[in-house]
Structure 1
Amino acid sequence: MWSEVGMKRQCEAILAFDTSNYTTSIAVVTRENKIEIDERACLQVAKGERGLRQSHALFQHMDRLPGLIDSVFQQVDPSCIKGVAASDRPRPVEGSYMPVFRAGTSFGKAVASTLAVPFFSFSHQEGHLASAALGTEIETLDRYLAFHLSGGTCELLLVDNGIIECVGVSKDISFGQVIDRIGVAMGLPFPAGKELDEMASVEICQKPLLKDIPFHGLDTNLSGFETQAAKLWDTGSIKKEQLASQVFSTMVRGLAKWSERASTQLNCEHILYTGGVAESRVLQEGLMEHMKTTQIKASFAAAGRSSDNGIGIGILGGRQRWR
Structure 2
Amino acid sequence: MPAENIFILGIESSCDDTAASVIHQGRILSNEVASQKIHESYGGVVPELASRAHQQNIVPVVHQALKKAGISKSQLSAIAFTRGPGLMGSLLVGTSFAKSLAYGLDIPLIDVDHMQAHILAHFIEDAGSKKPPFPFLALTISGGHTQIVRVDDNFKMTVIGETIDDAVGEAFDKSGKLLGLGYPAGPEMDKRAQLGNPKAYKFTKPKVDGLNFSFSGLKTAILYFVQRETKVDPDFVKNNLNDICASIQYTIVGILIDKLKLASKQTGIKHIAIGGGVSANSGIREALKQGEVKFGWTTYIPKFEFTTDNAAMIAIVGYLKYLEGHFSKQDITASARLKF
The bucket for the TM-score relative to the shorter chain is 0.7 to 0.9
Which segment drifts farther, 169-178 or 299-308? 299-308
TM-score relative to the length of structure 1: 0.87
Which segment drifts farther, 213-222 or 40-49? 40-49
Residue type matched to 1:185 in 2?
L
Tell whether 2:17 aligns with 1:23.
yes
* Aligned match of 1:89: 84
Paired residues of 2:21 and 2:30 also in contact (CA < 8 A): yes
Paired residues of 2:173 and 2:184 also in contact (CA < 8 A): yes
Out of 141, 148, 152, the position equivalent to 1:149 is: 141
Cα distance, 1:208 vs. partner?
4.4
Cα distance, 1:27 vs. partner?
0.8
Paired residues of 1:132 and 1:301 also in contact (CA < 8 A): yes
* Aligned match of 2:176: 183
TM alignment of 1:1-323, pairs within 5 A: 12-31=6-25, 33-47=26-40, 49-75=42-68, 76-78=70-72, 79-90=74-85, 98-134=88-124, 135=127, 136-139=129-132, 141-161=133-153, 162-234=155-227, 235-236=229-230, 237-238=236-237, 239-323=240-324
Instruction: State the secondary structure of the residue aligned to 1:219.
Output: coil
Instruction: State the secondary structure of the residue aligned to 2:294.
Output: coil
Cα distance, 1:124 vs. partner?
0.6
Cα distance, 1:138 vs. partner?
4.2
* Aligned match of 1:7: none
Instruction: State the secondary structure of the residue aligned to 1:205.
Output: coil
Cα distance, 1:16 vs. partner?
0.5
Cα distance in 2 for residues equivalent to 1:47 and 1:123 = 27
**Deviation per CA, 1:199-258, whole angstroms, max 9, x where unpaired?**
112223244421224231111211111112223333233422222111111122111111
Cα distance, 1:313 vs. partner?
1.2
Instruction: State the secondary structure of the residue aligned to 1:216.
Output: coil
Cα distance, 1:275 vs. partner?
0.7
**Deviation per CA, 1:137-164, whole angstroms, max 9, x where unpaired?**
444x231111111001011111222212
Paired residues of 2:123 and 2:316 also in contact (CA < 8 A): no
* Aligned match of 2:328: none
Cα distance in 2 for residues equivalent to 1:179 and 1:244 = 9
Cα distance, 1:294 vs. partner?
0.6
Paired residues of 2:80 and 2:318 also in contact (CA < 8 A): yes
Residue type matched to 1:157 in 2?
V
Paired residues of 1:138 and 1:272 also in contact (CA < 8 A): no
Paired residues of 2:199 and 2:247 also in contact (CA < 8 A): no
Instruction: State the secondary structure of the residue aligned to 1:301.
Output: coil
Cα distance in 2 for residues equivalent to 1:58 and 1:218 = 35
**What is the aligned residue count?**
307
Cα distance, 1:24 vs. partner?
1.5
Paired residues of 1:213 and 1:250 also in contact (CA < 8 A): no
Instruction: State the secondary structure of the residue aligned to 2:188.
Output: helix
Cα distance, 1:48 vs. partner?
5.7
Residue type matched to 2:195 in 1?
V
Residue type matched to 1:221 in 2?
S
Cα distance, 1:29 vs. partner?
1.0
Cα distance, 1:100 vs. partner?
2.2
CA RMSD of aligned residues (A): 2.2
**Deviation per CA, 1:30-64, whole angstroms, max 9, x where unpaired?**
12x11111111223354463433433322221121
Cα distance, 1:188 vs. partner?
2.5
When residues 278 and 82 of structure 1 are mapped into structure 2, their CA distance, relative to the original with a 3 A threshold, is same
Paired residues of 1:133 and 1:272 also in contact (CA < 8 A): no
Instruction: State the secondary structure of the residue aligned to 2:62.
Output: helix
Paired residues of 1:127 and 1:316 also in contact (CA < 8 A): yes
Residue type matched to 2:257 in 1?
A
